[in-house]
Structure 1
Amino acid sequence: MRIDHERLDRAYGIVADAVREGEMQTAVLAVATASEVVRCEAFGEGGVPGAGVESIYMLASISKAITATAVMTLVDDGLLALSAPVARYVPEFGAGGKEAVTVWHLLTHTSGLIDEGIPWESWRRDRVTAAQIVQSVCATHLEHPPGSRFHYYTGGFSVLAEAITRLTGMNYPDYFRRRVFDPAGMADISFDPWQEGHGQRVIPPVGLTDDGTTTSAEVIRYFATLNWPGVALFATAPDLVKLGQTLLLDRSAGRSKILSPAAMELMSRDHTRGIFKIEGDLVMPVRYGLTWRKGSIDGRSTLPGSADVIEHDGATGTWLWIDPAWDLVFVLLTNQNWAVMDRTQARVLATVYSAWSAGSGRHLSD
């Protein structure tokens, strides 16, 4: 892959300008191919101690995509079937009319369950545990028939992690380490960087809480005690680059460090075609693989890349994008609590693609 480094400089310049102008407090931008880290650079205000390439960020919902990848290792091993009811693996989940909800439904956000909003501050105050979160999800009732519509649902990933523990006999954080993190060479990713001795490298997100009684740092310290698979993995940009490179090779080179090529293809397939997200009078298509998104905003292909893209963002300002057809891994980590599909981040991604395109002679529509 030949890359136009002058155009790549422009992408990094957009991030540098955004930090300098206060649009974001810190950022790390990394781009890589399956075999090479092309560039990884950190940007941070002087008031953020230790902000750098090895800084650790709370990934927020990128955690869901990583959890889904761990679930797919069980599919590879023949321990779990996507079409099976979740209650086969976690029997208490079947309460409230959820007997027909399958693993596939949870992985595609089509279970018929709805997040009513996560009361982070009250959870922290009451010291809600991970086991209590699973119990709460198991006690919920369906709002819609499974498979009838899309509704983004965080709670299901706690139940999926519980299924991993019950099927393997290992605590799911240990299973993630053995089957995903270590094979990919992700040295710093964890559910609790403080327990791992890396807490001083964590960059707390901005604006995670606004009730005036707690800080974002206090909230994420509590999150770290939950081992929360849908929200609270912590990692560096190099960690996510290594995950992206490993998944690229698992699919394109036929190698199987984490997933078989067949499992990678299945995870990456567009599973939600014909299913819609409904908000009031607004009906929107969605494009999701098995938890990983397919590179679109509200179902519209408004971002560059191929049909093979898998990607996910996080509300703390994080984004991981993997495009096998372009041999591209793109990581943008910030600590700004906003939707990462903001105009600035989309500009950065488009400019990176232009560098890949100009260097290779390909077109963005390829």
Structure 2
Amino acid sequence: MDPKRLQVAYDLMEKWTVGPNAPVPGGAILVGRHGKVIAPRFFGRQGPEADAGPIRRDAMFYMASVTKPVIYIGAMILVERGLLNLSDRVSRYVPEFTGGGKDDVQVIHLFTHTSGLPDELTNNADLRRQHAPLKAFIAGSIKADLLFKPGTRQSYASAGTLIVAEIIQRLSGKSIREFVHREIIDPLGLKSTGLGSQGLVRERIVRATVPDYQVGTDFGWNSTYWQEFGSPTGGLFSTPEDYAVVCALMMGGGRWGGVKLLSPATVRMMTSNRLDDLPDLPEAVRRTQPWGLGWRLNHLGMADSWGDLLDRQVFGHTGSSGNLVWMDPRTQGFCILLTNYLRARAPWRLVHLSNAIAAAFE
């Protein structure tokens, strides 16, 4: 790593997090390569409030949709055990998922966001306002109407991830939270990570800037309800160091330290463009919006690209709470950017940081 170029990213984050009216309340940057990491740097405040204290060095961040790849890792564990086939219709595992074209939805469509399912449910806010349990969100996803014929378009669908979580629950006989902890978090020794905040020290959790519809409610990202909910679509809490283990696992072909969680074959399939496997998907979509199995690949030339110096082999995920994680198979490097500002309000900030960090790899 070129330390001077890496310092550019640190200086940008420092500039954006200084002062009570800083555009980014707080954040952290961690960069690693070949399974090793540079110590994380922390910036700004523990919350968006003007009087919030300095960010803790043991801060745990709300990972939002960076949760999703962990859920898909869990599903791929079941594939390796011969319990789940991606080419099967979803209705084989969830028989009530039928009608309105849903009989044609394959499991792989859920992994690649090509199922036709919506992102959020139409009654998402009402369910949260009622403090509804996870099963209500899953039931709504199963009943949801398709927006298009499966495999013909791509549209990011959190509802699809909820159905994957339900498939995991039915095949394993465990709740999604228990499965993720037993099969992923505990074997990897992640002591500061949880699907849901139960068992974590709440004071360590970085308070997020919430979307407008959550302001003044008791169901927002910072509420006890949502933090303990443990949504498979966005309920993970973690530290930069802990999530670096997930990155090192993927960079290591499914192995980290003495733990082998996935096979190299699984990692290759998860991190290469699986849209090429879908015959009815337009060529332009396959080429410019590549997805692996649960992991997204960089969308060069698109508005949601992660950076100008990252090619289409780079994989990772973003989170609406202001997070971006990516891994580069060519350099064996990875980047973890965690913040507590709303990414949608200025997605270019993470891209600027990403460009500076990508330039630091020799």
Q: TM-score higher than 0.5 here?
A: yes
Task: Note the alpha carbon deviations across 1:282-307, whole angstroms, 9 max, x for none.
Answer: 99942211121111253868532344
What SS is found at the alignment partner of 2:103? coil
Aligned-pair identity (%): 26
Q: TM-score, normalised by structure 1?
A: 0.86
What SS is found at the alignment partner of 2:98? helix
Task: Note the alpha carbon deviations across 1:78-131, whole angstroms, 9 max, x for none.
Answer: 111110111111211224431121110011111112236565542232222111
Gaps of 5+ in 1: 358-366
What letter is aligned with 1:109? H
> Which residue number in structure 2 is paired with residue 60 of structure 1?
64
* Structure 1 stretch displaced more, 234-243 or 111-120: 111-120
197 and 183 in structure 1: CA distance in 2 versus 1, 3 angstrom threshold: closer
93 and 213 in structure 1: CA distance in 2 versus 1, 3 angstrom threshold: same
Q: TM-score, normalised by structure 2?
A: 0.87
Shift of 1:255: 8.6
The one of 83, 91, 94 aligned to 1:90: 94
Q: Give the RMSD, CA atoms, in angstroms.
A: 2.9
What SS is found at the alignment partner of 1:53? coil
> Which residue number in structure 1 is paired with residue 340 of structure 2?
335
> Which residue number in structure 2 is paired with residue 102 of structure 1?
106
| Partners of 2:32 and 2:215 in 1: CA distance | 40
> Which residue number in structure 1 is paired with residue 4 of structure 2?
6
> Which residue number in structure 1 is paired with residue 350 of structure 2?
345
After TM superposition, the structure 1 = structure 2 runs for residues 3-82 of structure 1, keeping only pairs within 5 Å, are 3-20=1-18, 22-45=22-45, 47-49=51-53, 51-82=55-86
> Which residue number in structure 1 is paired with residue 270 of structure 2?
267
Gaps of 5+ in 2: none
What letter is aligned with 2:241? P
224 and 118 in structure 1: CA distance in 2 versus 1, 3 angstrom threshold: farther
What letter is aligned with 1:337? L
1:226 has 2:229 as partner: yes
1:236 has 2:236 as partner: no
Task: Note the alpha carbon deviations across 1:315-337, whole angstroms, 9 max, x for none.
Answer: 00011111121111210100101
| Partners of 1:199 and 1:269 in 2: CA distance | 37
After TM superposition, the structure 1 = structure 2 runs for residues 113-262 of structure 1, keeping only pairs within 5 Å, are 113-115=117-119, 119-193=123-197, 195-210=198-213, 212-214=215-217, 220-250=223-253, 257-262=260-265
What SS is found at the alignment partner of 1:112? coil
* Structure 1 stretch displaced more, 156-165 or 340-349: 340-349
Task: Note the alpha carbon deviations across 1:160-202, whole angstroms, 9 max, x for none.
Answer: 1111111112222121122222233322111222x21421111
> Which residue number in structure 2 is paired with residue 311 of structure 1?
316
| Partners of 2:188 and 2:299 in 1: CA distance | 26
